[in-house]
Homo-oligomer: A and B are copies of this chain.
Amino acid sequence: MAEERARSFAPLDGEVDRFLRTPLGAALREEGPEGDVAVSSRVRLARNLREFPFPTAMRPRDAQAVLTRVESALAAFPDAAQYVRIRMGEIPPFARGILVEKHLISPLLAENPAGAVIVRQDEAVSLMVNEEDHLRLQTFAAGLALQEAYREADHVDDLLAAHLDIAFDPRYGFLTACPTNVGTGMRASVMLHLPALALTRTLGQVVEAVQKVGLVVRGIYGEGTEAEGNLYQVSNQVTLGLSEGELLENLLGIARQVIEQERRARDVLLREDRVALEDRIYRSYGILTSARRISTREAMERISDVLLGVHLGLVQGIPSRALRELWVMIRPNFLQYTFGESLGPAERDERRAVLIRRHLKEAMARG
């Protein structure tokens, strides 16, 4: 029984295993532009193949055919060897969970055995197959880098379009399963770390202002998830009637304003009671490096405090990467895979504390 329990988190095959054990792909390891506030930028394009019904209506055989088409389109990519194919039906639930925790796939895709994801080694490009649409192409870039992420998405989109018959209407644009995606089929988002707006209790106002201009603010895991660790995704809602360039410019402008507001709030905290801020940050550091039991929620809060300290120059010797890696490493599936066994919630809280202490110690030893 204990053996079987352990086996459920047994190591997978080489190529997939590597993804599952790496908290941050090469594309997100270093900080990007405005990296003190902007964690990452993402562009997602929804595409469908003209000759098949949308995934909601298609038969298993269609799903298989879509996947085969996409895989052969990919085979023609000049950098095809850089991609790893992972079929949902072929990996255990925890492995799908880790891909969700890493933001490489959506929870919806994880639940579809006919779904697959094709990920570039550096994790800058992820192509979900048979999610809500036949194709959901996602690109990621560190910091505030929407244009870069879009260029990459556009490039991969061209490569796909060269080999696939994409459903496109001259009047409406790209056709998608959900009408909210019709048009450009694009959703762009920026992940922002906003601890000072939260601490100064001005976050509510900022979110309201952002929503008034038609953007959406969500928690770390997107739609319907709560904010944890003061991480917020700001994304466009409208996909129709504006060009990709206009959508990106709009989001970029708003993101820049929010980033400035966060920086001003940080200045206020430093000016009004620098010691109180340092105390908060260092207590969180002390707890992360000492606690023997910690929940995901508390860990996210403490990591947020210390990351703020790093960005304000109040904490030295901890690379921001180590903290950003922890965001993924402390999640249930990643955590259990790290320890190679199934763990109940209480055990997870203990192992999470072990993992955080170990990771920070190693990161500080490396300098």
> How many copies of this kind of chain does the complex include?
2
A94, chain B: closest CB distance, angstroms: 24
Q: Which residue of B lies closest to A284 (CB)?
A: B290
Interface bits A326-360 vs B (CB < 8 Å: 1, else 0):
00000000000000000000000010010000000
A282 within 8 A of B: yes
A274, chain B: closest CB distance, angstroms: 9
Partner of A286, one of B289, B293, B350: B289
A206, chain B: closest CB distance, angstroms: 28
A77 within 8 A of B: no
Question: Does A276 lie within 8 Å of B293, measured CB to CB?
Answer: yes
Bound complex: CA of A344 vs CA of B293, how far in Å? Answer: 36
Interface bits A255-294 vs B (CB < 8 Å: 1, else 0):
0000000000000000000011011001101111111110
Question: Does B287 lie within 8 Å of A275, measured CB to CB?
Answer: no
Bound complex: CA of A288 vs CA of B290, how far in Å? Answer: 11
A283, chain B: closest CB distance, angstroms: 5
Bound complex: CA of A286 vs CA of B360, how far in Å? Answer: 14
A279 surroundings in chain B (CB, below 8 A): 291-293, 353
A90, chain B: closest CB distance, angstroms: 37
A189, chain B: closest CB distance, angstroms: 35
Question: Does B290 lie within 8 Å of A285, measured CB to CB?
Answer: yes
Partner of A282, one of B276, B283, B292: B292
| Chain A binding surface SS class | helix
A350 surroundings in chain B (CB, below 8 A): 275
Bound complex: CA of A279 vs CA of B352, how far in Å? Answer: 12
Question: Does B278 lie within 8 Å of A283, measured CB to CB?
Answer: no
- Among A283, A285, A290, A350, chain B packs the most CB atoms within 10 A around the CB of A290
Question: Does A283 lie within 8 Å of B275, measured CB to CB?
Answer: no
Partner of A287, one of B276, B286, B353: B286
Interface bits A74-85 vs B (CB < 8 Å: 1, else 0):
000000000000
A286 surroundings in chain B (CB, below 8 A): 283, 285-291
- Among A285, A287, A353, chain B packs the most CB atoms within 10 A around the CB of A287
Q: Which residue of B lies closest to A285 (CB)?
A: B290
A285 surroundings in chain B (CB, below 8 A): 286, 290
Bound complex: CA of A290 vs CA of B350, how far in Å? Answer: 21
A282 surroundings in chain B (CB, below 8 A): 290-292
Bound complex: CA of A293 vs CA of B292, how far in Å? Answer: 23
Q: Which residue of B lies closest to A281 (CB)?
A: B292
Bound complex: CA of A275 vs CA of B354, how far in Å? Answer: 12
A326, chain B: closest CB distance, angstroms: 16
A290 surroundings in chain B (CB, below 8 A): 282-283, 285-286, 289
User: Nearest 6 A-B pairs (CB), nearest first?
Assistant: A286-B290, A286-B286, A279-B292, A282-B290, A279-B293, A278-B292
Q: 8 A-B contacts, Cβ less than 8 Å apart? A: A279-B291, A279-B353, A282-B291, A282-B292, A283-B286, A286-B290, A287-B287, A289-B290
